[in-house]
Every structure is written in C-alpha cells, then in structure tokens.
Amino acid sequence: MNIIEIKNLTKVYDEKTIPVYALNGVNLSFREGEFTSIVGPSGSGKTTLLNLMGGLDAPTSGEIVIDQTDITRLKSRKLIDFRLRNIGFVFQSFNLIPVLTAKENVEFIMQLQGVNREQRDLRTLELLKSVGLGNKINARPGKLSGGQQQRVAVARALASKPKFILADEPTANLDSKSAENLLEIMEKLNREENITFIFSTHDSRVVAKARRVITLEDGKIVGDVLKNSPPKPPLPLGEGTGR
C-alpha cells in the first residue's frame, strides 16, 4: 500500500529572475515499510525533495498525497499538525533541543501531541532503550557524542508513531562506527517494526543497506532500483520515475 504519492512535483527557485529547477516534474510513490535511499550529487534536489515530502517547504507545482491528504494544499497550522502526527524527521546535524535531556527531547513530541504523562514516560523509555540509550535518559545533548545524539534524534522521530521517517543525510556528521551503529538501529526498526525510512544520502554504507535506491540528477529521477529486483531502466530526462 502506498503511503506517499508524489505527482509531477516541481520546485523552482528564483522564479522571477533566473529560474533554477531544484525538482522538475518528479513522480514517485513509497510503500509502507520501505528502507529507501535518495542519492545524487550535490544540488541534485535530494534535500528539496525531502523538504517537500515533509511539508517543510511548498512546491511550485505538483501534489504530495500522504494518507489521502494532499499536503501541498494544507494551510500552515494544519500542515504543522499533520507533520506532528504523521512524519518523523532526522536531521544531518541532530538538531536536538539543547536545554532538554535525551528523555525530554523524545518526550517533547508526545507532549505536543497531548499524550498523557504516564504513556509518555513508558514510550520514551522504550524508545531510548530501543536505540541503546536507556542509560543516558537524563543526559543533555551537550553530554552526548554525535552518534548518541543522532540516536536520540531517531527516538524522537519515532516518538509520534509517524507513518514514515525522513532522514536528511543522517550519517554525514558521524564517524564510521557511529554511522554503522545508527544504520543497524534504523534497519532493525524497519525490519522488526515495519517503520518506513526515507534517506537522502551521499554515504555508500547507507546506500548499501537500503533496499530501494532512487537517484536524482538536476532535479529529475534518473534511477530507481529495488535491491531484490533487477534495476529499472531510467526514464528519459524530464519524465521522472514512478513505481
């Protein structure tokens, strides 16, 4: 079952001066439980695509339908609320709230959702244990290593029980051991709890673990490969690739 449908998505920067097509007529869909990497050179449109899928930016044209809701039509307040209940984010530079402990950072999302304290406490502990940080619940981000912070970020992304998690180059700021460790955790969560992960990445280790690899170039999809199936031939430029 598709959880995300992207139709003819275009994002143009500097429309009024010299138009730059960050995305140009992209068509994509994602199924529940995917573990997908979006790859491509710098400036190919990976982050723009993730931002648009996460409702963090507005497209110039096109549709992004998540769970039967076209998020491009949502007003700001409803879009924020939609994100809170449906999308988890993991950022390249962790972006935890520095004044909150690991537990409070994870709990923060559930608090925004209005989850009661008892349930929050239980789930926070469970999530932090699942990312191997059961013993660091009271540590603030400043006292955690980069890898530990990113694991807290993953726990935070999972806290809202989202339909999918968008991770923008999650291993870019991590050493190889931490990156490996993080990938194992995310893969395990995907495998055991059927959580959908969509990454943008340059990291070959992430690409190696991904079961689907989408390649972007100049704002267009030039490759979409399912690891367990023979690669699909890329479509002519400008048409994008759907599944």
Partner 1 sequence: MSDIRLAWRNIWRNRRRTLLTAASIFLAIFLALIVRSLQIGWFDNLTKIVVQSYTGHIQIHKKGYWDDRDINNSIVYDDSLTRLVGSTQNVDKTVPRLEYFALSSFGKLTKGVLLAGTDPTWEDALTHLSARVVSGRYLDPAGKGILVAEGLASFLGLHTGDTLVLLGQGFHGVSAAGKYPVSGILHFPSPQLNNQMVYMNLAAAQDFFSADQRITSLSVTLVNPDEINATLAGLKSKTDGNRYEVMRWDEMMIEVMQQLKVKTAAGMIIIAILYMIVGFGIFGTVIMMTNERMKEFGVIVSVGMQKRRLSVILVLEMLLIGLTGTLAGVAGAMPIMIWFNINPLHLWGNMAQAFISYGIEPLMPLALKPGFILSNVVSVLIIVCVTCIYPVRKIMKLKVAEALHK
Residue 57 near partner 1 by CB under 8 A: yes
Given candidates 74, 100, 137, 237, which one binds partner 1 under the rule CB under 8 A? Answer: 100
By CB under 8 A, the residues from 11 to 50 that bind partner 1 are: 47
The CA–CA distances, whole Å, from 41 to 7, 17, 200, 215 equal 23, 25, 11, 9
- Rounded least distance, CB 132 to partner 1, Å: 22
By CB under 8 A, the residues from 145 to 174 that bind partner 1 are: 156, 160
> CB-wise, 28 or 109, nearer to partner 1?
109
80 to 99: interface string for partner 1, x by CB under 8 A: xx-xxx---x-x---x-xxx
Residue 107 near partner 1 by CB under 8 A: yes
Residue 104 near partner 1 by CB under 8 A: yes
Beta-bridge partners for 6: 28, 64
Residue 77 near partner 1 by CB under 8 A: yes
> CB-wise, 76 or 116, nearer to partner 1?
76
- Rounded least distance, CB 113 to partner 1, Å: 7
Given candidates 10, 29, 113, 173, which one binds partner 1 under the rule CB under 8 A? Answer: 113
Given candidates 10, 33, 69, 108, which one binds partner 1 under the rule CB under 8 A? Answer: 108
Binding residues for partner 1, rule: CB under 8 A, are 47, 51, 54, 56-57, 76-77, 80-81, 83-85, 89, 91, 95, 97-100, 104, 107-109, 111-113, 156, 160
